[in-house]
């Protein structure tokens, strides 16, 4: 039998209960204690979305779909690892090694590259990989299947508005903000996000649109803007009473989507007299999963593994 090829599917992670919020934050902050008021604020956000993060089961669904697209585990074995919570990246690598995998492809479920995000995943992989060689896929922001999935979701979202106003409903693309110092490194993150948004609009057809950053952390450092709240207010000032928000920087639901957008931003929209809808996340959309499977196979072929 041919040697199995591993796929290390990675995501950020999130607490599975309110009791896990404080230790999770400790992990995220590099084991620096979190001020009590911040812990309470974050715990309240998780309480508002059901008391836990759904990122684990959403990522598991993506992993199952990807393994099926690759051939139901006949040649490829997919294992998930979280950067900041269980199951951790090191645990996933141990499971792959136990299954006889010595070569794997690393894939983060975040399409846009930044030294401050994607590189940190692969730095951790190098620290924990043991006998498993891991070849990274560092970016896939223009993967045709991913863009097709986004176009599908945006069309579905626009379909919630009356037909006569759909051509006028602005699409507000969003992604997680990062500290502005990444610009000093010529980091490609901002341009890759803009490229994804442009590609969606090109395939979608004429549609008013804007781009904004969301979920900036509470730190003294300046973060990338414009902020999603400010862009929403600008749209309202320009006359928009209906807005579709499209979080293209994420692939599944977690607190930055379910709280920051579905609760906090929607509350702000209601105060402004505006209807705010959000696209369904791409999740395990067949087009995106098929595209990722093709990318995994192509990477394995380039390495001479297939």
* Per-residue pLDDT at 35: 94
pLDDT of residue 73: 61
pLDDT of 110 > 80? The answer is yes
Q: In which residue are the tokens 């995220």 written?
A: 28
CATH second-level architecture of 5-140+285-302?
3-Layer(aba) Sandwich (3.40)
Topology (CATH) of 144-278: Rossmann fold (3.40.50)
Domain ranges of the chain: 5-140+285-302, 144-278
Rounded to the nearest 10°, the torsion over CA 187, 189, 194, 198 is 110
Q: How far apart are CA 259 and CA 278, in angstroms?
A: 12
Q: Two tokens at 28?
A: 């995220």
CA distance 51 to 45: 8
pLDDT in tens, 22-77: 999 999 999 999 999 999 999 999 999 999 999 999 999 999 999 999 986 679 99
In this prediction, residue 220 carries a pLDDT of 84
Q: Is the peptide bond before 87 cis (omega within 30 degrees of 0)?
A: yes
How many Å from the N-terminal Cα to the C-terminal Cα in the chain? 13
Residues 136-152 have pLDDT tens digits of 999 999 999 999 999 99
Give the whole-angstrom CA distance, residue 92 versus residue 182. 30
Contact assessment for residue 78 and residue 107, using Cβ atoms and an 8 Å cutoff: no
pLDDT of residue 72: 60
Long-range contact set of residues 296-303: C-beta below 8 Å, sequence gap at least 24: 296/7, 296/66, 296/70, 296/76, 296/105, 296/107, 296/137, 297/70, 299/105, 299/135, 299/137, 300/5, 300/105, 303/103, 303/135
Average pLDDT, the chain: 96
Cβ pair 249, 295 in contact under 8 A: no
The four Cα atoms 244, 245, 248, 252 give a dihedral, to 10 degrees, of: -100
């Amino acid at each position: 039998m041919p040697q199995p090829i591993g796929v290390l599917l990675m995501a950020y992670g999130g607490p599975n209960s309110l009791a896990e919020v404080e230790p999770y934050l400790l992990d995220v902050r590099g084991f620096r204690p979190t001020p009590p008021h911040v812990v309470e604020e974050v715990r309240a956000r998780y309480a508002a979305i059901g008391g836990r993060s759904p990122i684990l089961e959403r990522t598991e669904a993506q992993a199952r779909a990807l393994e099926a697209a690759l051939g139901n585990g006949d040649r490829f074995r997919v294992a998930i690892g979280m950067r900041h919570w269980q199951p951790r990246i090191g645990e996933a690598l141990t499971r792959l090694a136990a299954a006889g995998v010595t070569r794997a492809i690393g894939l983060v479920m975040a399409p846009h590259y930044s030294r401050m995000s994607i590189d940190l995943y692969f730095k951790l992989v190098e620290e924990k990989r043991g006998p498993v060689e891991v070849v990274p896929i560092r970016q896939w922001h223009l993967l045709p299947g991913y863009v097709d999935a986004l176009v599908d979701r945006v069309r579905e979202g626009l379909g919630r508005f009356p037909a006569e106003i759909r051509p006028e409903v602005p699409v507000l693309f969003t992604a997680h903000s990062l500290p502005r110092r990444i610009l000093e490194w010529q980091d490609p993150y901002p341009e890759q996000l803009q490229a994804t948004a442009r590609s969606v609009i090109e395939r979608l057809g004429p549609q008013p649109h804007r781009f904004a950053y969301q979920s900036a952390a509470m730190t003294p450092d300046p973060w990338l803007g414009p902020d999603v709240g400010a862009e929403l207010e600008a749209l309202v000032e320009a006359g928009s009473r209906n807005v579709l928000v499209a979080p293209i920087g994420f692939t599944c639901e977690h607190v930055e989507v379910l709280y920051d957008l579905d609760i906090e931003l929607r509350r702000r929209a209601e105060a402004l007299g505006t209807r705010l809808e959000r696209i369904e996340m791409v999740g395990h959309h067949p087009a995106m999963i098929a595209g990722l499977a093709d990318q995994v196979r192509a990477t394995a072929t380039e390495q001479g593994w297939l």
